[in-house]
Structure 1
Amino acid sequence: MQLLNPATTAPTLQAAFSQGAQDYIQALSARLLADPICRTMPDLLALGFWFRRQKLTALVQKYHAMPYQFKPLGRVYHNTPANVDSLFMYPALLSLLCGNSNLLRLSSRAGQSAQVLLTHINALAEQYPEQNAALQFVLAPHNDTDLARHLTQMDGRVLWGSDAAIITQRQQPVPAHCRDLIFSHKMSLTLLDANAVCEAPAAEFQAMTELFSRDHLTYAQQACASAKVVVWLGQTDDIRQAQQRFWPTLIQRSMQQALLTDSDAYQALAGAQQLLLRSENYQDWQTGQLQRLRITDLDTDMLQLHPGCGLFLELPLQSLNALTPMLNNCHQTLSHWGIDSKLLSDWYPTVLRGADRLVPLGQSLQFNEVWDGVDLVVQLSRISNTQSSHG
């Protein structure tokens, strides 16, 4: 097990929302926002912006206003995902804010963003020795004996990965009281009103395609919140006209911005072929810079075989209610554009499974302390009710 940011002091628990933790997070945020290299890395820029001082202050005030006493959960292990380098840092910094001591296992596939992030973390080690010791990064295989020894002392785990990887990790010995936060394989969708796409003025339409591209092609659909399914809401003729307007513009934008690589294109092509061979649910294959398949249902095949990489599944619906029974726990984010707000507000409370996040198009990749239906600050803390009763 290789330690990536050596500590000069032993890790200790701190009071929840301590000033030291806030100062450290602020310092890291400021470094990320000021680094010219980070400006070329959307994930690090978003991370620094999310933890800026104004946001962090409001976040702490939110939990201080709750009728609870927050205390650290204890020692927390984070198994980080490989699909978006810095996603794991949001719960990791929130865990630090909660006063926990954290051990983060980086993926062997971690890319440049993770390396830049570690450079800034190491730069803060001397100024913030307690926080550095409470946020330790390691490289280690899953079966590493030192890692296994640490796991037997954990009070919580934050586990990211495929369903198979999560099942394997949950078999590792941990204390009986260890609390697990699971972020397994997810699929997201975007909901577009066909008539609104057809009638949008040119400037509004161009802005919409930019938002779509930002949400769903920034990481070649590898982010769990990036949609792999486009749900078209409207009548058949309107949907056809909307598609004829939308896809050529999006394809042109993706080519101009070089959002997809040759490897992405190959994977999208192979994925489309696999789905076509697997089930009659997949029809009307549209090839090109972006691959498209029409579907009539959300099935399990797409969960296993959809590679992202510029492959979009199109689900035409005349009613939002038709979508409800298709949703399940693997469906994470539902972004939307052009949908009547009252229709959404009436429909969303009826969705009892899936679609844990409902966000406007352009906000799919924006993190929130409530993620996948879980309040991370609450779950990474021990809380007690501070209200007293009189009688």
Structure 2
Amino acid sequence: MQQHSNDGMERADVTYVVGTKETEAQMELLRPLPIFSKESKDFLAALAERILSDAEAKAYPDVVTLGFWCRPASLRQMEKPYVGERNRLGRGIAFHVAPANVAVNFAYSCLAAFLAGNASIVRLPSKDFPQVRILCRLVSEVLQEYPALLPYFLFVRYGHEPAINVRYSSLCQTRVVWGGDATIAAVRRAPLAPRAREIPFADRHSLVVIDADACLAADRARIAQAFYRDTYQSDQNACTAPHFVVWLGKAARVEAAQEAFWGALHECLKTRYALQPVQAVAKLAALYRLGACTEARKAPMPDNLITRVHVRVLPEVLPDCKVGSGFFIEYAARDLAEIRPLCTRACQTLSYYGVPRETLLDAVLSMRPAGVDRIVPMGRTMDFALVWDGVDLVRAMSRVVSLV
């Protein structure tokens, strides 16, 4: 087997980053683990310790967040809904196709599968994120401490090779596909075994609801930082990132809150975010698309770091006009029921500031929308949970041994 770059091994058209061709062969002989097994919890705890003590990892907030997610205290909270379900075993091998635009998603997907009792084959993001390199190194280091778990982890890279998708799809009992509609369509050309199941995560959009009075009473720097984490940290590429900002309150208060909020965010951005020319062009094109489908007015801002567009109505085609890089569509609502046109089947996360979460839940349930799978506070939209997009990952990636 020949060396390929500094972080993997190559054979055929697959680069093995964590694990080897021999690991791949061993996976077919593995027995599934129970959900929340001692093996999985011990491994995640050791990985958390590695991440949180690693000098290189500390430079990346998303990697550090993963470290906190893996801690024993966090695992205990995650396990609570499954207490008493000792009759659940993993389904076998999970094949994960990671998204190209979110660095650490592959790790959450793989570790959720491990907590559900499965081994994982992970196709890593095509983009060369430093976070991916760091996490692969740390996982490899922890696996040296737990050699019996080596066959449960195979991280690979390969190009647009349908034959490799077919190979890994034939091995798996669960296929988890992130990255949007086009990726799902491409991967689905590879057939699954008759009893295998697929968990697809398609293109989604998200929105935030902000109470104007609460915003005006808030620490402006803190609320700007929370919104930055939700949006600019992923360049609005994550499905969780809000593209639509809905304001609640009297007109004068909304106007004052908008000025304060966007001004504080601009101060936060000036030294932290650089807009590339291609992004500016994409935002201009989105503005034209938006103007073609509804009455829209661009709000004045000091530069192009933030693009705000006011709309007076919310047509259901509005999500087709979204784009990243700091492009926000604003709407002033008199009542929460007005957001229903945004809550289509493609709507994932509803974040909020200053609005009681029970009020939001009641409003969403009364609308009975096709979408909205998560209601979370502003600043926490990217916090990964074992229930994602309305799917309980542990239950979906495990099976019940029923006793009658």
- Fold match by TM threshold 0.5: yes
Q: Where does residue 328 of structure 2 map in the other structure?
A: 312
Instruction: Report the AA paired with residue 342 of structure 2.
Output: M
> Deviations along 1:9-47, whole A, 9 cap, x unmatched?
522133213222222121111111111222221211111
1:91 Cα deviation from its structure 2 partner: 2.3
Q: Deviations over 1:242-297 (max 9, x none)?
A: 212221121111113x1344357525533444434542343335452211111221
Q: Counterpart in 1 of 2:289?
A: 275
Contact residue 290 and residue 318 of structure 2 kept, 8 A: no
Distance 2:67 2:82 in 1: 21
Poorly superposed stretches of 4+, deviation over 4 Å: none
Other-structure match for 2:10: none
Match of 1:369, as an amino acid? L
1:245 aligns with 2:260: yes
Confirm whether residue 3 of structure 1 aligns to residue 16 of structure 2: yes
Q: Deviations over 1:120-146 (max 9, x none)?
A: 122223322332321101111232534
1: distance between equivalents of 2:105 and 2:193? 26
- What secondary structure, in the 3-state scheme, does the structure 2 residue paired with 1:323 have? helix
Q: Once the two structures are superposed, what CA deviation does each residue of 1:73-115 show, in whole Å capped at 9, x if it has no partner?
A: 1121100011111112112112112221211111221411111
* Identity across matched positions, percent: 28
Query: Deviation at 1:235?
Result: 2.9
Please show how residues 1-391 of structure 1 align to structure 2 within 5 Å: 1-7=14-20, 10-11=26-27, 12-16=30-34, 17-66=36-85, 69-198=87-216, 200=217, 204-256=219-271, 258-262=272-276, 265-266=279-280, 269-276=283-290, 278-287=292-301, 288=303, 289-295=305-311, 296-297=313-314, 299-300=316-317, 302-303=319-320, 305-341=321-357, 343-352=359-368, 353-386=370-403
Preserved CA contact (<8 Å) 1:79 1:158: yes
Compute the TM-score of the two structures, normalised by the length of structure 1: 0.90
Give 1:149 deviation, angstroms: 2.0
Give 5+ residue unaligned stretches, structure 1: none
Secondary structure of the corresponding residue to residue 126 of structure 1? helix
For the 8 Å contact 1:220–1:260, the answer to whether it is kept is no
Q: Which amino acid aligns with 2:380?
A: Q
Amino acid at match of 2:366: T
Distance 1:249 1:187 in 2: 24
Conserved? CA contact 2:220–2:260, under 8 Å: no
User: What CA distance in whole angstroms lies between the structure 2 residues aligned with 1:341 and 1:22?
Assistant: 31
More off after superposition, 151-160 vs 53-62: 53-62
* Partner AA of 1:148 in structure 2: V
Question: What is the distance in 2 between the residues matched to 1:125 and 1:340?
Answer: 44
User: What CA distance in whole angstroms lies between the structure 2 residues aligned with 1:52 and 1:83?
Assistant: 26
Q: 182-191 or 89-98: which moved more?
A: 89-98
Q: Secondary structure at the match of 1:176?
A: coil
Contact 1:188 1:225 in 2 (8 A): yes
Check the 8 A contact 1:267/1:307 in 2, yes or no: no
Q: Say if 1:222 and 1:308, in contact at 8 Å, map to a contact too.
A: yes
Q: Please give the alpha-carbon distance, in whole angstroms, between the structure 2 residues aligned to 1:153 and 1:341.
A: 42
RMSD: 2.2
Structure 1: distance between partners of 2:277 and 2:135: 26
Alpha carbons 2:221, 2:265 under 8 Å: kept: no
**d(CA) in 1 for partners of 2:346, 2:131:** 27
Q: 1:208–1:69: structure 2 CA closer, same or farther, 3 Å change rule?
A: same
Aligned-partner residue type, residue 6 of structure 1: G
Cα 1:281–1:367 shift into 2, 3 Å: farther
Instruction: Name the CA distance, whole Å, in 2 between partners of 1:135 and 1:89.
Output: 11
Q: Distance in 2 between matches of 1:340 and 1:72?
A: 38
- Report the secondary structure of 2:144's partner residue: coil
Counterpart residue type for residue 359 of structure 2: L
Q: CA deviation at 1:119?
A: 1.0
